[in-house]
Amino acid sequence: MKKPFYQLEQTGDVIRQFTPNWFTMTMGTGVVALILPEFPFASDFLWQLATILWQFNTLLFTVFIILYVLRWLIYPQEAKQIFSHPAMALFLGAIPMGLATVLNGFLKYGIAIYGDVAFQIAQLLWYVDVVLAVGIGVLVPFCMFHKQDHQLHTMTAMWLLPIVACEVAATSGGLLLAHMHASQQAVAILFASYMLWGMSVLPAFGILTILMLRLAVHQLPSKELAITSWLALGPIGTGALALLVLGAQAPQVLALIQLENLGMFFQNAGIVASFILLGFGVWWVAIAVLTTLKHAATELPFNLGWWGLTFPLGVFTLAILSLGHQLNLSFIVDTGLAFAVILMMLWMMVMSKTLRGMYQGNLFFSPCLKTFLERE
């Protein structure tokens, strides 16, 4: 039986067992912080609450980064086993996605608090995020192809995690452009963000196609993995959001190089494509709900994978809200707010279960370490 957190013998117990799936906690908390001010009531209070939540999420991400770096420094042989583990390696993608919520917060809240330095920090973090997203998006799939053991019947939507990070970075690139003057650098960021979108969305849809085959041939995943069904919303929602955010900035950025008409095409095409993607997302929401309800007849065991209920639904909600605001259509915005209410309730539930699990100590567990020790 796991020791409660307060009874852990030494800090090394936490460091040695720390795994990147903890970064899904920063993903979910960060997206909630970005959505909170969208509600049309108590705007000042919600803005302050969201700012505090973003600052808490930034602190949380910093602590997690320190713990994970220490694991690599103190236990390098054990830490590198992650590249051979077919499930835990996928969570490396949560690191750049968690970082994206931090840098987006610097743009949304930090500028008002810290001034221009917040924009400079966000810009630096974006470049770091891009390097991490591209590196993980290539390295982890290569490890899947080269040194990991995967079977069709064991496949889940977790395969999407290392892939989606690039389109999350693309969305952050669009948010960054909203605070920049038209320049050669802005043009480069715009085009790079569209390339990041392509590096992510197209492979993600290939994975979704295989996932649908796996579900048809081998039926639903086990109850321990039931929540993974929600992860499919990630590339769909982020893909739509990135097109909307980048399209909104494209006309003024591309006007610098006399391509304003191309920018208008990007904007209009982004709106049309987002409708199509969000429609696909609605279908996946229904599948995810039915899958969860099917397994809810028996008690679903809690694990950190439950954070998959938050970030994918969060980016899907942000995409709906962004589309509604761009078209100035209140019924679309209201739909997004309805999803936001559901998101807030899910976040509170998952956060409470996570804090309880941290206190009890049963969430500090590294599957790749267990496999490594068994081989030894």
Write the pLDDT tens digit of every residue in 100-125: 999 999 999 999 999 999 999 999 99
pTM: 0.93
Residue 369 — very low, low, confident or very high, per pLDDT cuts 50/70/90?
A: low
**Residue 375: predicted pLDDT:** 55
Residue 155 — very low, low, confident or very high, per pLDDT cuts 50/70/90?
A: very high
Residue 366 — very low, low, confident or very high, per pLDDT cuts 50/70/90?
A: confident
Q: What is the pLDDT of residues 285-315, one digit of tens each?
A: 999 999 999 988 777 888 898 999 999 999 9
Q: Judge whether residue 249 has pLDDT over 90.
A: yes
Helix pair 23-35, 330-360: axis angle to 10 deg: 150
Question: How far apart, in whole angstroms, are the C-alpha atoms of residue 355 and residue 55?
Answer: 18
Share of the chain above pLDDT 70, in %: 94
Specify whether the CB–CB gap between 167 and 236 falls below 8 A: no
DSSP category for residue 363: T
Residue 367 — very low, low, confident or very high, per pLDDT cuts 50/70/90?
A: confident
**Residue 8: predicted pLDDT:** 47
* Tokens representing residue 362 in the block: 């049963």
Mean pLDDT of the region 245-262:
97
The upper half-sphere exposure of residue 339, i.e. CA atoms within 13 Å in the direction of its Cβ, equals: 26
* Tokens representing residue 104 in the block: 């987006």
Mean pLDDT of the region 167-193:
97
Mean pLDDT of the region 351-363:
86
Q: Judge whether residue 16 has pLDDT over 70.
A: yes
Share of the chain above pLDDT 90, in %: 83
Specify whether the CB–CB gap between 58 and 45 falls below 8 A: no
Residue 7 — very low, low, confident or very high, per pLDDT cuts 50/70/90?
A: very low
Q: Between residues 298 and 9, which one has the greater pLDDT?
A: 298
Residue 5 — very low, low, confident or very high, per pLDDT cuts 50/70/90?
A: very low
Residue 370 — very low, low, confident or very high, per pLDDT cuts 50/70/90?
A: low
Specify whether the CB–CB gap between 98 and 170 falls below 8 A: no
The Cα-based distances of 65 to 72, 110, 119, 241 in angstroms read 11, 20, 22, 27
Q: Judge whether residue 264 has pLDDT over 60.
A: yes
Question: How far apart, in whole angstroms, are the C-alpha atoms of residue 257 and residue 131?
Answer: 27
Short-list 369, 373, 375, 374, CA closest to 81: 369
How many CB atoms neighbour CB 54 within 10 A? 25
Kindly report the length of the chain. Answer: 376
Average predicted confidence (pLDDT) for the chain: 92
**Residue 373: predicted pLDDT:** 52
Question: How far apart, in whole angstroms, are the C-alpha atoms of residue 249 and residue 246?
Answer: 5
Residue 1 — very low, low, confident or very high, per pLDDT cuts 50/70/90?
A: very low
The upper half-sphere exposure of residue 311, i.e. CA atoms within 13 Å in the direction of its Cβ, equals: 31
